[in-house]
Amino acid sequence: MATFPKAEAEIQSLAHEIRTGLQGHPDLYPSPPVTEEELGKALKVYTRAADAVTEQQAAVSHAVNVKHETLEALTDAMKRILRYAENVTQFDDASLKFLGWGGRRSGTSLEPPGQTRSLETPRRGEGWIFLNWKKPEDGGKVAAYKVQRREEGSEDWIDVGTALATEATLSDQPRGKQFVFRVVAINKAGEGEPSNGVLAVL
């Protein structure tokens, strides 16, 4: 069984086919509930309405393009005035406020990251260890993470790796020794507080 179309173009095409069929086969369809002439009038009314919508859409599209062009011209004029005002007032905030503008904002200084959290070592093997952790909840934006270790009983931490993500795999580690690993978040402003330590023998 055929399905009635949903697309307007397909509906319009089917209407033409129905008219042609009614005109060509009055013996098969002698008394349709809507005559071929009535269907033709309804099709003509729809076509006029559809054509009107197309014309209006074209007009709207043109109006939108004109609006964008005029907005660009307005924006360019405003920016030129504001650049001029910034130069003649040397970015004086009080003077620029007369134009609804403002001086340069003082740059905010970057803070060191906060403490790296929840260091774990879910996998390890002979001479290697996989570490993962969570980023700090506070402090400045993290640029990288520094992985450190110390031998159990020693106070000296040494850098053994760097990571950009919140995980790292360290290979070629000394075997048979007991180490403590930790992770420190770093950026240009400095280092954050080290994470918790995890104990491992590789």
The tens digit of pLDDT for each residue in 148-196 reads 999 988 999 999 999 999 999 999 999 988 999 999 999 999 999 999 9
pLDDT for 17 equals 95
Distance CA 122, CA 106 (A): 45
pLDDT of residue 104: 75
Sign of the C-alpha dihedral computed for residues 186, 190, 193 and 194 taken in this order: positive
* pLDDT < 50 stretches in the chain: none
Tokens representing 16 are 């033409």
Give the pair of three-digit tokens for residue 42.
């309804």
Note whether 183 and 159 are within 8 A (CB).
Answer: no
Integer Rg of the chain from CA: 37
Helix (H, G, I), strand (E, B) or coil at 111: coil
CA distance 119 to 126: 20
- Per-residue confidence (pLDDT) for residue 110, from 0 to 100: 87
How many CA within 13 A on the CB side of residue 13? Answer: 7
Q: Which residues pair with 200 in a beta bridge?
A: 179
Which residue, chain included where needed, has tokens 């089917």? 14
HSE on the CB side for 164, CA within 13 Å? 0
Token readout for 84 is: 């001029």
